[in-house]
Amino acid sequence: MQSRFRSDRRLTVRMGVTLFLLGLLYVAFVAALIVLLKSWVLVVVIAAAALAAQYWFSDRIALFAMHGTVVEPEEHPELHAVVDRLCALADMPKPVVAVSSMDMPNAFATGRNPDNAVVCVTTGLLRRLEPAELEGVLAHELSHVAHKDVAVITVASFLGVIAGLVVRFAFYSELLGGRGRRDQNTFAVFAMVVGVSAAVYAISFLLIRALSRYRELAADRAGALLTGRPSALASALTKVTGDIARIPSQDLRTAQAFNAFYFTPALGSEPGISRFFSTHPPLEQRLAQLGRISAELGEAATPGKAG
């Protein structure tokens, strides 16, 4: 079913290209592991299990990691009312609604498709935002679900998970394996596995970052156009980014693993070089886009304005 969120052809093309390139990388990765480990059964079992877990249980994994709990309308009537209103406006299925006990102000969406999606907000976000700002954030997250880019990011991150699992398995196999004449050969295979896995992780890391930054701009644009209040979303962005920047970096480390899914990244006051590899575009770029949308909507709403 097509939602009323404005489609973004450039986002669709970017998602297709990213999945194609990651697919090629995945095939090369599996082939290299089969050659190095000389056990195609082992490689296929690990890869299939990890992909199934990522695809089918990504929402549960994310909720567990971020201390999220599914809430009913009786528990959070205002939150459910905003989601109900936006879903009706966008003509899309209502996702599961969850609240995380984290004080860090943020929100995220996850799930394999619009019929199996979760939208989660933190208690820190609920406490800090005005109703119009919360609506803007939720419209942003629902656009991720409607555009299906949250599912693409989930699948795309699969390669990084596999690379990490292979490195761990190779490491423990080296520690627990027998010693003797095979030590030198075993170490050589171990080093090659780690090298291949590191290269795959690096390439997938860059591809995911490139897609993620554009999809955040697309979600800002779609959410602002759906609500018709880009200024409310801009206000939420400014407020949330400023509050997160005041949180010590060491307190954000666990949350940073899920930056690709967040409304705004969990970066401390001194992000350093990590800013260049961020999953999100700079705040200034996001605010500039929302400013342009606000001007366009204002011009369109002005009576007697020449078109």
Q: For residue range 134-150, what is the model confidence (pLDDT) as tens digits?
A: 999 999 999 999 999 98
**216 among annotated binding-site residues:** yes
Residue type, 243: D
Higher pLDDT, 276 or 85: 85
Most confident region among 47-56, 213-222, 254-263 by mean pLDDT: 213-222
How does residue 304 score in pLDDT terms, banded at 50, 70 and 90? very low
Q: Mean pLDDT lowest for which of 60-64, 172-176, 279-283?
A: 172-176
- Give the pLDDT score at 165: 64
CA–CA separation, 205 and 300 (whole Å):
40
- Give the pLDDT score at 63: 84
pLDDT at residue 271 is higher than 60:
no
How does residue 303 score in pLDDT terms, banded at 50, 70 and 90? very low
How does residue 302 score in pLDDT terms, banded at 50, 70 and 90? very low
Report in angstroms the alpha-carbon separations of 107 from 42, 90, 118, 140, 144: 37, 19, 11, 10, 12
Question: Any bridge partners for residue 7, and if so which?
Answer: none
Predicted structure pTM score:
0.82
- Give the pLDDT score at 25: 82
Mean pLDDT of the 202-215 span: 86
How does residue 236 score in pLDDT terms, banded at 50, 70 and 90? very high
With tokens 């992909």, the residue in question is: 51
Annotated catalytic residue 296: no
- Give the pLDDT score at 114: 86
Closest CA to 264 of 221, 230, 216, 229: 216
Residues 222, 6 contacting (CB under 8 angstroms): yes
Residue type, 98: A
pLDDT at residue 133 is higher than 90:
yes
Residue type, 262: Y
Report in angstroms the alpha-carbon separations of 164 from 148, 159, 277, 305: 26, 9, 19, 57
CA–CA separation, 112 and 21 (whole Å):
20
What per-residue string of b and e applies to 138-175 under the rule 16 or more CB within 10 Å gives b?
bbbbbbbbbbbbbbbbbbbbbbbebbeebbeebeeebe
**67 among annotated binding-site residues:** no
In the set 78, 135, 141, 174, the catalytic residue is 141
